[in-house]
Amino acid sequence: MKRKNRGRLFIVSAPSGAGKTTLCQKLSSIIQNLKHSVSYTTRPMRHGEINNRDYTFIKEDVFRRMASKDEFVEWAEVHGNLYGTSRKRLDAMLNKGIDVILDVDTQGARQIRKKYKDGIYIFILPPSREALKKRLKKRMCNSKEEIQRRLKRAADEIREYKKYDYVIINTVFDTAIKEMKAIIASEKLRTGNIDSLWVKKIFFPPRRIR
């Protein structure tokens, strides 16, 4: 084994409408051994979404029962709905050597930092406030009041970008994908990921006594 067997954890945050979920899903479909961790949520399923692919959709009482049993690595209430990352799902993948990409809000990222010190944190910015507003308007389920609420929250979230390791401006989707692929590739090649026992065995074998 040339590299350590435990998977790498990539945490992606962005204001609502910046495209983080779409980016994460695309990356997990084109990068070998990278899986997109599916979060639990209490919000209604949107048109085109599939349960256990986009989110695991559950009732609020079920979610809160799971939270009370400490089954979430992180969870938060966002825009009136609950979102959470399953500890069991996440650790199972990492322990199998699978790299995991999570899309969570800034509240979730703060919680994860306390538990996963070696995580790689990526923030996605929209090209401008106006571009973000246009993207939110394209979501037919978003009312005018909800759009304004999300824009206000977006300002608070964007202020936290300096706490992340990398920042990507999602102006052109394909460019953002290439930039995220570069981050993932470089992180997997870090010195700390090499198996030191393999290096010792291959390059510094014990000397035979003659």
The DSSP secondary structure of 144-186, one letter per residue, reads: HHHHHHHHHHHHHHHTTGGGSSEEEE-SSHHHHHHHHHHHHHH
Tens of pLDDT, residues 55-99? 999 999 999 999 999 999 999 888 789 999 999 999 999 999 999
Q: In 31-172, where does DSSP find H-type helix? A: 60-68, 87-95, 106-115, 129-138, 144-158
In angstroms, the CA 100 to CA 78 distance is 22
Greater pLDDT, 42 or 146: 42
Residue 111 has pLDDT above 80, yes or no: yes
CA atoms within 13 A on the CB side of 52: 1
Mean per-residue pLDDT, 166-194: 94
Adjacency order of strands within the sheet including 120-125: 34-36, 99-103, 9-13, 120-125, 166-169
| Structural contact between residues 116 and 9, judged by C-beta atoms closer than 8 angstroms | yes
**The pLDDT value given to residue 153:** 86
Residue 189 has pLDDT above 70, yes or no: yes
Q: For 7-11, 113-117, 175-179, which range has the lowest pLDDT when averaged over its residues?
A: 113-117
Residue 139 has pLDDT above 70, yes or no: no
**The pLDDT value given to residue 143:** 77
| Structural contact between residues 136 and 16, judged by C-beta atoms closer than 8 angstroms | yes
Report which secondary-structure segment, H or E, holds 40.
strand 40-41
In angstroms, the CA 21 to CA 19 distance is 6
pTM for the model stands at 0.84
Between strands 40-41 and 56-57, the pairing is parallel
**The pLDDT value given to residue 137:** 77
State the Cα torsion 77-13-44-171 to the nearest 10°: 140
Q: Return the CATH architecture of domain 9-37+99-203.
A: 3-Layer(aba) Sandwich (3.40)
